[in-house]
Structure 1
Amino acid sequence: MSTHDHHEPSTSDCADFLERIVYFLDNELDEADCSAVRLHLDACNPCLEKYDLQRTVKAVVARSCSESAPQELRDRVMFRIREVQVRISEG
């Protein structure tokens, strides 16, 4: 183990921080934990890349959930559902 102030994060450090990243993104950590996560991300490029990916996925999902399908697609889906319901009832 190195005695330097700036050490390479261990695999177990990263596993712990990767779990906390989800809570960090959702603002569910106290200030001390937020600071620890920020420090780790500053020192660990692989975790920073995973954080950026998680943040991007979260933003895309949030945006997708606020959009609705085009009316034509909704009509086609409803038509297919009704076809299947008719087949089942005739079944």
Structure 2
Amino acid sequence: MSTHEHGRDDCVDYIERIVYLIDNELDQADCAVVQLHLRECGPCLERYDLQRAVKQLVARSCSESAPESLRDRVRIQLREVEIRLTEGEA
């Protein structure tokens, strides 16, 4: 059964995993699952592409590394925004 047959609610489970995929923080099995979902789900693929583009832009624009505590706070806030956006789409 494809992601489109499951519905948009199932995509919520992939939002955080997409971030981990971009950051190379998933094991091989989880990467395969997320990549399969991205091949089947246009909205999640668009989100992945956008997040990857933003990450690349920030990487090119910043020559200094932010403290890990700041990076953690930004990640948490981004995930909270993503959750609110996803809940608003339902």
Change (3 A) 1:7 1:26: closer
Distance in 2 between the 1:21 and 1:7 partners? 15
**Greater C-alpha radius of gyration:** 1
Change (3 A) 1:57 1:17: same
RMSD after superposition: 1.6
Aligned to 2:79: none
1:11 aligns with 2:11: no
1:27 aligns with 2:24: yes
Distance in 2 between the 1:19 and 1:27 partners? 12
Structure with a larger share of its residues in helix: 2
CA distances 1:20-65 after superposition (whole Å, capped 9, x unpaired): 1110001100111100000000000000000000000000011111
Q: Following TM superposition, by how much is the alpha carbon of 1:13 offset from its aligned partner in structure 2, in angstroms?
A: 1.8
Question: What percentage of residue pairs aligned between the two structures are identical?
Answer: 62
1:64 aligns with 2:72: no
Change (3 A) 1:27 1:57: same
The structure 1 segments of at least 4 consecutive aligned residues displaced by more than 2 Å after TM superposition are 9-12
Change (3 A) 1:7 1:24: closer
Unaligned runs of 5+ in 1: 68-91
Matched length = 63
State TM-score, norm by structure 2.
0.63
Larger RCO: Structure 1 or Structure 2 (Cα < 8 Å, ≥ 6 residues apart)?
A: 2
Unaligned runs of 5+ in 2: 65-90
